[in-house]
Structure 1
Amino acid sequence: MIPPKPRSRPDKASLWQHLRMFRRDILSSQPARLYRAWMAEFRTPFFRSYLCNDPALVARILTERPDDFPKSNRIREGLAPLLGNSVFVTNGEIWKRQRRIIDPAFEGGRLRDTFPAMVAAGAAGVARLTPGLVEIEEEMSHAAADVIFRTLFSIPIEHQIAAEVFREFRTYQRSQPLLNIAAFLPLPSWMPRLHKRRTLASAAIIRSLIARLCAMRAAEIAAGTAPDDLATKIMTTPDPVSGQTFSTEEMIDQVAIFFLAGHETSASALSWALYLLAIFPAVQDRVAAEAASLSEKPTFPELSKLKYTRDVFREVLRLYPPVPMMVRENLCPEEMRGRNVARGAQIVLSPWHLHRHERLWPRPDEFDPDRWQTEENRACARDAYLPFSAGPRVCTGAGFAMVEGPLLLAMLVKAWRFQPVAGRDPVPVAHLTVRAKEGIWLNLHRR
């Protein structure tokens, strides 16, 4: 059985047709040939875009010369109302300073400290589920948001402000396309960015709520009563170069991206994981058998028992990478596979296509967690596996996600059996992350 994959558009489409499809859903707007191409060029009247699947080019852009390929400001156009100048959208010295302050909070030892909060969120997520028909994306969004609030601010999702942020973010998500129309047009900086009114309103509400959380935490830090969580660590860590900490506005930007990236991406991955386990019951049984060895409140060392579950989660990230595409911009002329790429071109790196590339992976569209124990697959992964990007801009929370994902998956499967619903196969689409067009519906039964 081949898991769901979007239909590809015809190889030939007009610019207007492509832009309309692209804005509606990036995945289905791409031609099938991109799953076997090393490089492809897309022309608009205003700029040229190059999708690069060649592992050598990916390495050049992400790891060998990352400063020559900063993040494209075209992606920033759509997310700026919520994210401001967060670490997700900045470049150069601003980004480097932000990473110097943020990275220590996510070092290995800190993951052990956040583990009890993850377990508590996982237990709450298990308890919220009910037997019968369940839309699992909504449930996993709730669980992933709970993880973020417990680890970042030591508050559960039921906390009034946390609940308000979560509810408003659902509104924001439904109104915000991955790319704003300004990403395609050369608009001057003074011109309005054509955001939907509802999108702007939701972003403003979310940021005001985050500002309240940050102000409360700043007061606790000043009083010496702040809990030792991620927010405290980030707010009190000075930049080792300048000695300065984040300002209040900077902290709001960073919390916004922690919530967006940490909650949206995990929810996407966990939802697809549970769907795949539902349609591959033998795999689900192996995860359940492994999860049965966990204690009622798992401890950090028990993660070592979840080897197969971890491989399942890796395979889910391969087939359904939460962030399907990344866009960079080259600062100087480049030669790529015999093509002259002018300065300012948009360079697209697509985990979605790399992870399913027909020349790089054996049986690329098949769900096979066992592939992660073969040397052949490990070689493929070194060349073409980017669920968290790579190089200096690798996701700060990659280690966090690889603890959270297998842990919650094991806790959920230990308590519940997941089964597919006939006639309701999900269709992957790209919104802020890879989601299902009409949700992921599963039947749940207690174990």
Structure 2
Amino acid sequence: MPLPIALLFSAVVLLVSLSRSFIILVIRQLCSPLRYLPGPPAPSLFMGNLEEMHNMENDDLIARWARTYGHTFVYRGFIGGCRLMTTDPVAVGHILGHAYDYPKPDFVRASLADMAAGHHGLVTVEGNDHKRQTPAFSSGHIKSLSPIFWDKATELRDIWLAQVDHDTDTALHDIDGVGRDKYVSRTDVLLWLGKATLDVIGLAGFGYAFNALRDDTNELATAFSTIFSTARKFRVMTILQAWFPILRRFRRNNAAMAQARETMRRIGLELIEEKMRAAGGGLDEPIDGAKRDSRKRIEGRDLLSILIRSNLSSDASQQMSTEEVLCQISTFLAAGHETTSSALTWCLYALAHDKTGAQDKLRQVLRDVDSELKARLTSPSSHSSYPGSPSAPWSDAYREELTDAISRCTYLDWVVRESLRLHAPVTTTMRVCMRERDEIPLQEGEILIDKNGHRRWTIPVKKWDIISVPIQAINRSSDLWGDDAGLFRPERWDTPPQEARVIPGLYSNTLTFLNGNPVGGNRACIGYKFALMEIKIFLYVLIKDISFTIDPDVVIEKKVNVVTRPFVKSEPHLGNQMPLNISRSSTSASASSLQAQLTSAPTISPPHAP
């Protein structure tokens, strides 16, 4: 076929495909019952409300809409399409509790796949594909990875303390009488926590040493940064490709992106080959008895090794292809690095910004955990196998005991819960209705009034209707959490409001890790135990020895780029950053000033406590 005719034929096929997709979208909107629900006006016919949602702090905008239109309303998406948004906890529970009827929309999974360099990662798959990719996240296995958390948290602490000492020594040439524990050094904690959590997920995720805390030249880290930073940019072409799959074939000729993908693929295949050599076979080969027995020879405890080990099964439904396993590497990076560094950054910000003494209180509690554990393990009546002494606090045996102790530390848990409630790394999750028709229930007493004045006690939806669940807005709802919902107050978790207890969250009546309800399909964050253990260990190591403050003239605002990232209001040109002042914490806190507070927050809960 001559080239001009081939080009003309391709153009006709493209035009027909686009026209068909456009007509289908329009028909769906005209038939959707959502068109009768109230909602904000759309500034753009083409982009609807999407651009203003991207440009503004998401939860503030949604809270304003909810005050105007109620807990359930419709906003406009691409080409004016209706999208349901609800903060009603019963409605949210119905949607997230029937995950197979309400999966992620295809355009969301396509966007996540771009970030994860494939379509089979844990953040993109649905249904049985998701189930068979979860064997590595058991509590016991995650605990076995805790030495990595301890090592990297300690390394980061030492880097920051060295920075403080260096700045102090420099300053003391000019200033006399300044105590070493009084001098502060300013650092971008977002940058450093990103390096530390990248190191953690490299080692714990697939046994790869980034050494990001010491070296910025790692090629895999650079490749991932290129892919992730490109994926989170807001472009019209990205929206078009999401809705018109045929356009995904026309990617931008980005040499840097192509090189990054090739680097990730090359190193990923090398890692898989290395682990498969230990297993004695290839991923796509039939599994015989000898190969099944070879799993005993796999020594790697990283998540990728466990996934490969689980692949050695005669049950074909449990086996993954090489491509599926390859995609886990970028998935672990995206899900285990960006979200955890964001969560830790916002937690340190909350403690630094707090004026009620929560940071000092937490520090004393953590020191008490350390003291009580050492006393128990070294007492003559102790039957522990702990071989060391208080002078050897970082032995593996001690760390294992300490990991259990801080997992039961009540006040630390309150701080983590409160920070994740206020500053969820991911602010919104999208779902699409796959039932022909459904009536989503509302909480008792809630009435929905449509544009025609009709009163409804359910939300009518039909197949292909798009639904947004505003995680952050629900976590901060004053209707659920009270008038102080926007404040950082860890003590609220001593007795959570009754209204908040209806939130169908996996973790502490918040939607930060979505819903753990197995009815109709569980699609919660399977790595939440990994994230919580990492966050708590980092907080223990950092808060115990370092004090964090923030300059009063520094105003921090949020920008949602896949995850919630901070920037300084007066310095937007510098991009994402979280500048905090760090200093050595006092070696002894004032017990008298803290005693009254500590009595309301027991240091360690009994081992059987949830």
| TM-score using structure 2 length | 0.65
Displacement of 1:109: 1.3
Specify which of 176, 182, 185 is matched with residue 231 of structure 2. 176
Distance 1:228 1:162, change over 3 A: farther
SS across alignment from 2:581: strand
- Shift, 1:273, TM fit: 0.6
**Corresponding residue for residue 101 of structure 2:** 68
Question: Partner residue of 2:301?
Answer: 228
Matched residue, 2:263 = 205
Q: 1:303 aligns with which of 386, 403, 406?
A: 406
Match of 2:43 among 10, 14, 21: 14
1:330 is aligned, of 405, 422, 433, to: 433
Partner of 1:439: 577
Q: Which residue of 2 aligns with 1:397?
A: 527
The CA deviation string for residues 292-325 of structure 1, in whole angstroms up to 9 with x for no partner, is 2337433232224532112111111101111111
Q: What is the deviation of 1:252? A: 1.4
Tell whether the 8 Å contact from 1:125 to 1:142 is kept in structure 2 after alignment.
no
Aligned ranges for residues 277-288 of structure 1 at < 5 Å?
Answer: 277-280=351-354, 282-288=357-363
What is the rounded CA distance, in whole Å, between the counterparts of 2:322 and 2:480 in structure 1?
A: 45
How far, CA to CA, are the matches of 2:250 and 2:63 in structure 1? 32
1:204-229 deviation digits (Å, cap 9, x = unpaired): 43343333322222223339464233
- More displaced, 211-220 or 159-168? 159-168
1:350 aligns with 2:381: no
Match of 2:275 among 209, 217, 224: 217
Do the aligned residues in 2 keep the contact of 1:290 with 1:305 (CA within 8 Å)? Answer: no
Mapped to 2, the partners of 1:112 and 1:425 lie a distance apart of 38
Q: Which amino acid aligns with 1:268?
A: S
Residue type of the alignment partner of 1:307: T
Percentage identity across paired residues of the two chains:
23
Q: Is the 8 A contact 2:89 2:504 kept in 1?
A: no
Residue 221 of structure 2 corresponds to residue 166 of structure 1: yes
C-alpha separation between the residues in 1 aligned to 2:562 and 2:57?
11
Q: Which stretch shifts more, 325-334 or 72-81?
A: 72-81
CA distance in 2, matches of 1:247, 1:162: 31
Contact 1:388 1:398 in 2 (8 A): yes
Q: 1:346-405, CA deviations, whole angstroms, 9 ceiling, x for partnerless residues?
A: 111111111011211112111111111104266255575111111311111111112111
Q: Structure 1 residues 161 and 31, CA, compared in 2 at 3 Å: closer, same or farther? A: closer
Q: Is the 2:351–2:548 Cα contact (8 Å) retained in structure 1?
A: yes
Distance in 1 of aligned mates of 2:106 and 2:234: 11
Gap change, CA 1:196 and 1:314, over 3 Å in 2: farther
1:241, CA displacement in angstroms? 4.7
Higher deviation after alignment, 425-434 or 231-240:
231-240
Name the aligned partner's letter for residue 237 of structure 1.
S
Distance 2:41 2:553 in 1: 31
- 1-side partners of 2:430 and 2:74: how far apart? 14
- Alpha-carbon distance in 2 for matches of 1:166, 1:91: 28
Q: Which deviations, in whole Å up to 9, do the C-alpha atoms of 1:78-122 show, x marking residues without a partner?
A: 232342121211223xxx13422x322111211221111211121
Tell me which of 133, 137, 143 is aligned to 2:186: 133
* Counterpart contact for 1:330–1:344, Cα < 8 Å: yes
Alignment of 1:92-107 (within 5 A): 92=127, 96-100=128-132, 102-107=133-138
Is it true that 1:88 corresponds to 2:143 in the alignment? Answer: no
Q: Deviations over 1:150-197 (max 9, x none)?
A: 222344432899933333333333332276644466314355465683
Q: Sort the Cα spacing of 1:326 and 1:162 in 2 relative to 1 into closer, same or farther, 3 A.
A: farther
Offset at 1:236?
A: 1.2
| Alignment match, 1:4 | none
Letter in 1 for 2:196: A
Structure-2 change in CA distance of 1:70 and 1:13 (3 Å): closer
Shift of 1:413: 0.8
How much does 1:199 deviate? 4.8
- Evaluate the alpha carbon distance shift between residue 58 and residue 188 of structure 1 in structure 2; reply closer, same or farther with a 3 A threshold: same
Q: Does 1:115 align with 2:190?
A: no
Taking the aligned partners of 2:471 and 2:314, their CA distance within structure 1 comes to 33
Give secondary structure in 2 for the equivalent of 1:286.
helix
Looking at structure 2, the residues matched to 124 and 350 of structure 1 have their Cα atoms a distance apart, in angstroms, of 36
Q: 2:217 matched to 1:79?
A: no
What is the SS of the residue equivalent to 1:50? strand
C-alpha distance in 1 between matches for 2:99 and 2:233 = 23
Q: Distance between the aligned counterparts of 2:247 and 2:349, measured in 1?
A: 45
Q: Which has the higher relative contact order, 1 or 2, with Cα contacts under 8 A spaced 6 or more apart?
A: 1
Deviates more, 1:156-165 or 1:32-41: 156-165
**Closer, same or farther: CA 399–257 of 1 in aligned 2, 3 Å:** same
CA distance in 1, matches of 2:216, 2:315: 34
Judging changes above 3 Å, is the alpha-carbon distance between structure 1 residues 348 and 124 closer, same or farther for their aligned structure 2 residues? Answer: same
C-alpha distance in structure 2 between counterparts of 1:134 and 1:70, whole Å: 41
* 1:367 pairs with 2:488: yes
| Mapped contact 2:272–2:326 kept (Cα < 8 A) | yes
Partner secondary structure for residue 468 of structure 2: strand
| Aligned mates of 2:204, 2:328 — CA distance in 1 | 14
Report if the CA contact (8 A) 1:265-1:323 is conserved.
yes
Q: Is the 8 A contact 1:168 1:202 kept in 2?
A: yes
What letter matches 1:177 in structure 2? R
Residues 112, 123 of structure 2: 8 Å contact kept: no
Query: 1:273 corresponds to which residue?
Result: 347
Conserved? CA contact 1:272–1:316, under 8 Å:
yes
Looking at structure 2, the residues matched to 56 and 246 of structure 1 have their Cα atoms a distance apart, in angstroms, of 36
User: After superposition, what is the alpha-carbon deviation per residue over 1:391-432, rounded to whole angstroms, capped at 9, x for unaligned?
Assistant: 311111111112111111111111211110232221111112
Deviation at 1:126, TM superposition (A): 1.3
Alpha-carbon RMSD across the aligned residues, in angstroms, is 2.9
Instruction: Provide the rounded CA distance (Å) in 1 between the counterparts of 2:107 and 2:317.
Output: 32
Verify: 1:50 aligned to 2:79, yes or no.
no
Match for 2:365 among 283, 290, 296? 290
CA contact (8 A) 2:50 2:76 kept: no
Offset, 1:58: 0.9
Can you list the C-alpha shifts for 1:18-45, whole angstroms capped at 9, x where unaligned? 3333344562783543454321202343
Q: Per the alignment, do residues 278 and 114 of structure 1 end up closer, same or farther by CA in structure 2, a change over 3 Å counting?
A: same
Distance in 2, matches of 1:32 and 1:196, equals 40
| Shift in Å, 1:231 | 1.8
Count of aligned pairs between the two proteins: 433
Unaligned runs of 5+ in 1: 1-9
Query: How much has 1:243 moved relative to structure 2?
Result: 5.7
Greater C-alpha Rg: 2
1:215-262 deviations in Å (ceiling 9; x for gaps) = 222223339464233221111103685265322211111221111111
